[in-house]
Chains A and B, each alone.
Chain A
Amino acid sequence: MSDSANHDETSDQELEPMELPGRRLRETREARGLSVQDVASNLRLSSQVIRALEQDDYAALPSATFVSGYLRAYARLLEISESELSLPRQAVSNPRLVKSVSTASEPRSRQFPMRLISVLIVLALLASSVVWWINHGNELLFERDDNGASSLSDTRPHLSLPERVVSPPELSAVPSPLETPAEPVDPAPAGAEPTREAEPAAAEPVPVADESAAPVLVQANMELRYQGDSWTEITDNTGERLAFGLVERGTVLQLVGEAPFSIQLGYAPAVEVIFNDEVFDHRPFQRRGVARFNLGGPEHNRPVTR
């Protein structure tokens, strides 16, 4: 774009003395037997403007955009093609704008030194983090293993291996440190049932685990009440899209599906969410009005990050 503009400027400078369009327009108009008044009334301009155009007197005319528009309209009226008539080019792509209010000087962030410094700082940070990881990273891994083993050893005997309670917990944990993370997460139902009957005291942790897993399979109902327009996108556990689009104010959406739901609200403050007949407070998930969250699943109450 800038190249073509430059090109036009230079060609204009070469041709300017003879090629301004005023004379050509006047001659064509006279050849067609039109008066200035005719042209002026046809283009809805004053006759002074038409005379100024014919005399190439741009000082008497409004800004360049209008002049080139008038010239093109005039040329069209006289059936002269635009390419025949060399229109004076001006900074159309680069309009002059003046600030009307005070000028506040803002520090320019795009300057070269700033960029260089920011690059250097980031590189230094990266280098230091690599050095730190080489020194401390391995220790960290070991620490995590120890913590995992010791905390798991307390719950493990109660859940699935009641006969091992007699043996010291440290011994049961040590032989298989790698398997330990998997077991407390999914208590096998076959193992859990006998535990509840045989050991009532140890049964307490089991129902807790059951409760958190139960809603996953249940058909849940949800109601959304709109006090204002909001973009809404709701997907349930099967991946079925229950709502998608702009919902207008005053609407009440009734939805039934398999929990958990993945919900995205474009303007959350205007929407009241009622999940299984309970009002759900989604304010913690709102960021600048937009809320993304999951409802009714194990990820319940955890903001969804994108």
Chain B
Amino acid sequence: MGMLGRLKGLFSYDISIDLGTANTLIYVRGEGIILDEPSVVAIRQEAGPNSTKRIAAVGAEAKAMLGRTPGNIVAIRPMKDGVIADFTITEKMLQHFIRKVHENKFKAFKPSPRVLICVPCGATQVERRAIKESAAGAGAREVYLIEEPMAAAIGAGMPISEASGSMVLDIGGGTTEIAVLSLNGIVYSNSVRIGGDRFDEAIINYVRRNYGTLIGEATAERIKEEIGSAYPSAEVREIEVRGRNLAEGIPRSFTLNSNEILEALQEPLSGIVGAVKTGLEQTPPELGADIAEHGMVLTGGGALLRDLDRLLMEETGLPVIISEEPLTCVARGGGRALELMDEHGGDLFAID
């Protein structure tokens, strides 16, 4: 970093980005989380001979368009399974978010922040490079990558510096990350491509199979949030939804209850439980004993699924706790890691 970079730094923030499949969060150092938007971009195909593509909307505005767009607009989720599915659009989206974050303070300058991005631990070198380059293309001056479970653990306030095992389970939109951490490092990590999106898909499939009715992603997500649960409970909740009846071809409304959704979610949930069990199997015995004593911590949007902690407790027999504000854990942890990097130099964590 030369003189110019330092000069640019005067007019930009240090930010940490949780570039998730479902939501992108930006934590600004010294300010907190100031952006939390869905990772959705709406693109308009302009009419005319050159037919250029224009960004119509980004974030919450674009998400409202998902599945409801006319022919010339497509709403795209450029991230899939925790990694970049569309390079150019991810870059544009990041550019938009970074500009938005800087809007209120440094309006006159092109933002060039120092950026720390959280990547799934299962991401390949190519995927990591793609994420790094899209951030650089979006104007970042320096880009650091941190493994998502590490950021989640820091954000959840787990004692990862101690010589004691901490297990974190971060269930995001596209991936579930399991990691065992000790002494600022990752002892075991695994990433399975099951997350909130797979829950939604499972609900869509269930409703199509059992009700002969097609529902959209947004509806499936609403069902999951309102009555979805991971473990049977005495209380049965209901929700009324509308979808297109496949036989009649006409939108119909019908009622679903929480037991049906529990049944629908069995497959992705057993995938997550299986991954947790594999993780515990692979953990060295001393660290396993620490985890059995203190419990594992759930973070990410998936932790908000009702009774998921209960399911994991029953399946593993270990205490399971849900972190505070699970949705923002990763972004906050990334921001804290950025601060620690400055305090202690770059060698505190393995950051590429």
| A interface residues (Cβ-Cβ under 8 A, vs B) | 1-2, 43-46, 62-66, 68-70, 72-73, 90-101, 103-106, 108-110, 114-115, 118-119, 121-122, 229-231, 233, 246, 266-267, 289-290
Contacts and interface: CB of A to CB of B under 8 A. Distances in A.
Nearest to B335: A93
Interface of A is mostly: loop
23 contacts: A1-B31, A1-B32, A43-B313, A44-B320, A45-B319, A64-B157, A65-B158, A66-B295, A66-B297, A69-B323, A72-B322, A73-B322, A97-B184, A97-B340, A100-B183, A109-B1, A118-B6, A119-B10, A122-B3, A229-B126, A230-B126, A246-B130, A267-B125
A231 B130 contact: yes
Given A1-B31, A69-B295, A99-B348, A266 B156 contact: no
Contacts of B345: 103-106
Contacts of A233: 87
Nearest to A119: B7
Contacts of A103: 344-345
A100 B155 CA distance: 19
B157 A267 contact: no
A2 B347 CA distance: 27
A94 to B, nearest CB: 7
Contacts of B6: 109, 114-115, 118
Nearest to B322: A69
A17 to B, nearest CB: 24
Given A65-B156, A229-B124, A266 B130 contact: yes
Nearest to A94: B336
Interface centre among B87, B124, B157 (most CB of A within 10 A): B157
B9 interface: yes
B309 interface: yes
A95 B342 contact: no
Nearest to B185: A100
Contacts of B336: 93-95, 97
Nearest to A267: B126
Contacts of B309: 73
Nearest to A44: B319
A62 B124 contact: no
Contacts of A118: 3, 6-7
B64 interface: no
A148 to B, nearest CB: 34
Contacts of A73: 309, 319, 321-322
A114 B320 CA distance: 48
Contacts of B161: 96-100
Contacts of A266: 126, 129-130, 133
5 closest A-B pairs by beta carbon, nearest first, are A69-B321, A1-B32, A65-B157, A95-B157, A44-B319
A121 B157 CA distance: 43
A298 B88 CA distance: 27
B101 to A, nearest CB: 14
A123 B3 CA distance: 12
Interface string B308-322: 010001000111111
Nearest to B126: A229
Contact of B319 (A70, A114, A267, A290): A70
Contacts of A93: 32, 157, 332, 336
B154 interface: yes
Interface centre among A46, A68, A99, A230 (most CB of B within 10 A): A99
A93 B337 CA distance: 12
Contacts of A97: 154, 160-161, 184, 336, 340, 348
A23 B333 CA distance: 33
B271 interface: no
Nearest to A45: B319
B294 interface: yes
A279 to B, nearest CB: 23
A63 B158 CA distance: 7
B157 A72 contact: no
Interface string B103-132: 000000000000000000000111001100
Contact of A44 (B124, B295, B323): B295
A290 B133 CA distance: 10
Interface centre among A43, A62, A69 (most CB of B within 10 A): A69
Interface string B81-93: 0000001000000
Contacts of B332: 93
A177 B82 CA distance: 60
Interface centre among B126, B294, B345 (most CB of A within 10 A): B126
Contacts of A2: 30, 32
Interface string B262-290: 00000000000000000000000000000
B341 to A, nearest CB: 10
Contacts of B323: 65, 69, 92
B10 A115 contact: yes
B256 interface: no
Given A73-B309, A97-B340, A104-B345, 13 more contacts: A44-B295, A63-B158, A69-B321, A70-B295, A70-B321, A72-B322, A73-B321, A93-B32, A97-B160, A97-B184, A109-B1, A246-B130, A290-B133
Interface in B29-82: 30-33
A289 B318 CA distance: 45
Nearest to A102: B347
A46 B289 CA distance: 13
Contacts of A62: 159, 293-294
Nearest to A105: B345
A166 B260 CA distance: 97
